[in-house]
């Protein structure tokens, strides 16, 4: 039985975790989900480390939605570095799933993008834990999350 941690924020404008949980449950079984909500993306790194330590999760999915301001990009950069350090300190994977508000031009588009990206990152998390061979088969094939895949330059043998 694997243990998956899902972190999200009150700052985000879409319930990305709901989409992630649904995608995980539709994908398979053999895991238990632990959840926690923090205020903003800068709180994610420590919360991830706490989850690894307290709930002994095998992987954390960290969901966040930086705002439109220039400063939000700086915050996202800091949070991303923090998530990488947290993963390195624990030597366990943290799948970062950030959707920038500025990636969408309408609320409806933002909602769709955020849910789709959360789902696709959740499926990546599932594959990292249960189906590494699926990731290996998809190497170099230009996969994207939330947007259409870019595709391989030429087919992977």
Question: Buried b vs exposed e over 11-22: b needs ≥16 C-beta within 10 Å?
Answer: bbebebbebbbe
For its own copies, give the closer residue by CB, 31 or 126: 126
For its own copies, give the closer residue by CB, 26 or 141: 141
For its own copies, give the closer residue by CB, 24 or 86: 86
Consecutive H or E run containing 21: helix 16-27
CB of 143 to its own copies, least distance (A): 4
- Torsional class of 67: left (φ above 0), alpha (ψ -120 to 50), beta (otherwise): beta
CB of 96 to its own copies, least distance (A): 6
* Nearest CA-CA partner of 100 in 1, 13, 21, 19: 13
CB of 5 to its own copies, least distance (A): 14
CB of 42 to its own copies, least distance (A): 6
For its own copies, give the closer residue by CB, 4 or 14: 14
First to last CA, the chain: 33
CB of 112 to its own copies, least distance (A): 10
According to DSSP H, which parts of 91-157 are helical? 107-130, 132-137
For its own copies, give the closer residue by CB, 28 or 140: 140
DSSP assignments along 54-77, one per residue? HT--SEEEEEE---SSHHHHHHHH
């Amino acid at each position: 039985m694997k243990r998956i941690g899902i972190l999200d924020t009150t700052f985000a404008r879409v319930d990305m975790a709901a989409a992630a949980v649904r995608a995980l449950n539709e994908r398979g079984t053999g895991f238990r989900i632990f959840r926690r909500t923090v205020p903003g993306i800068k709180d994610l790194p420590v919360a991830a480390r706490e989850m690894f330590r307290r709930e002994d999760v095998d992987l954390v999915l960290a969901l966040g939605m930086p705002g439109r301001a220039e400063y939000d990009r700086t915050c996202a950069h800091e949070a991303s570095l923090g998530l990488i350090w947290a993963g390195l300190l624990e030597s366990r994977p943290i799948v970062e799933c950030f959707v920038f508000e500025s990636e969408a031009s309408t609320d409806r588009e933002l909602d769709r993008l955020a849910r789709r990206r959360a789902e696709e990152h959740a499926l990546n998390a599932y594959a990292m834990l249960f189906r590494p061979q699926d990731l290996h088969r998809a190497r170099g094939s230009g996969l994207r999350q939330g947007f259409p895949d870019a595709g391989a330059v030429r087919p992977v043998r």
